[in-house]
């Protein structure tokens, strides 16, 4: 039976946060941001292994000693982009997974994932021929602008979704999609789409937002405190 494995790319520096440390390590409700989603994965017995993809210069985890039987594994496999980091990590875990195992890639700065959302994704995708991702249907009106920040037109929001993570694909498919992509995909789904495939969208949650700007930390704390 295919198993579920997590990859968390955590090699980024988070320039838009304007902080001295990467946003995945910013304190959130008393612990580093990244630890919230790791805790969620640990709490789900369906997850076989959790792989943190770090920058070679990362010293946050450097001195951490892991138990030999731990489901958590550290890889100093960070690349110049998210896609390169994920691909490097797929190479690093080659001997630990099967081609038809599921790989779930989750943003390090997306701490609001719940076990219920994770199980929704696993249940919806585990028998799918392609794979899929959590996403939210867009609620706001979209405007396209020109270089002077003037509205050019309004974009219909029907059938538009905001991608979230985890994004879930079979090991062999994801590795092939990332290795063969012409350029740098913004997420794993885009790389799979380039193969002519159509990933399935599974309804996510506002709570599963990505921390991008300084004000997001305060909002995320409120959401977590409501749990």
For residue 90, the Cα-to-chain-centroid distance in whole angstroms is 14
Predicted confidence (pLDDT) per residue in 92-101, tens digit: 999 999 999 9
Summarised one tens digit per residue, pLDDT across range 11-56 is 876 544 455 677 888 888 888 889 999 999 999 999 999 999 999 8
Structural domain boundaries of the chain? 4-225
In sequence order, what are the residues at sequence separation of 6 or more whose Cβ sits closer than 8 angstroms to the Cβ of residue 34?
8, 10, 24, 25, 52, 108, 109, 111
CATH number of 4-225: 3.90.550.10
- Among the residue ranges 90-94, 150-154, 195-199, 217-221, the one predicted with the least confidence is 217-221
How confident is the model over 121-162, as pLDDT tens digits? Answer: 999 999 999 999 999 999 888 999 999 999 999 998 888 999
Name the pairing type of β-strands 200-203 and 131-137: parallel
For the segment 177-187, what is each residue's pLDDT rounded down to a tens digit?
999 999 999 99
- Whether the per-residue pLDDT at 227 is higher than 80: the answer is no
- DSSP, collapsed to helix, strand or coil, labels residue 4 as strand
Q: Per-residue pLDDT averaged across 157-169, rounded?
A: 95
């Amino acid at each position: 039976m295919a198993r579920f494995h997590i990859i968390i790319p955590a090699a980024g520096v988070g320039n838009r946060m304007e902080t001295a440390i990467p946003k995945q390590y910013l304190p959130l409700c008393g612990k580093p941001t990244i630890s919230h989603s790791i805790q969620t994965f640990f709490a789900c017995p369906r997850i076989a292994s959790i792989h943190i993809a770090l920058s070679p210069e990362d010293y946050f985890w450097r001195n951490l000693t892991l138990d030999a039987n731990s489901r958590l594994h550290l890889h100093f496999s960070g690349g110049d982009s998210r896609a390169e980091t994920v691909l490097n990590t797929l190479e690093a875990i080659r001997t630990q997974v099967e081609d038809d195992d599921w790989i779930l890639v989750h943003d390090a700065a997306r701490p609001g994932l719940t076990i219920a959302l994770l199980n929704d994704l696993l249940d919806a995708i585990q028998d799918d021929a392609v794979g899929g991702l959590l996403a939210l249907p867009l609620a706001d009106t979209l405007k396209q602008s020109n270089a002077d920040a003037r509205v050019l037109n309004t974009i219909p929001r029907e059938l538009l979704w905001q991608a979230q993570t985890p994004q879930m694909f079979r090991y062999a498919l994801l590795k092939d999609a990332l290795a063969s992509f012409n350029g740098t995909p913004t997420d794993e789904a885009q790389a799979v789409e380039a193969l002519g495939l159509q990933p399935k969208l599974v309804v996510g949650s506002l709570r599963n937002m990505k921390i991008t700007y300084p004000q997001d930390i305060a909002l995320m704390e409120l959401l977590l405190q409501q749990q």
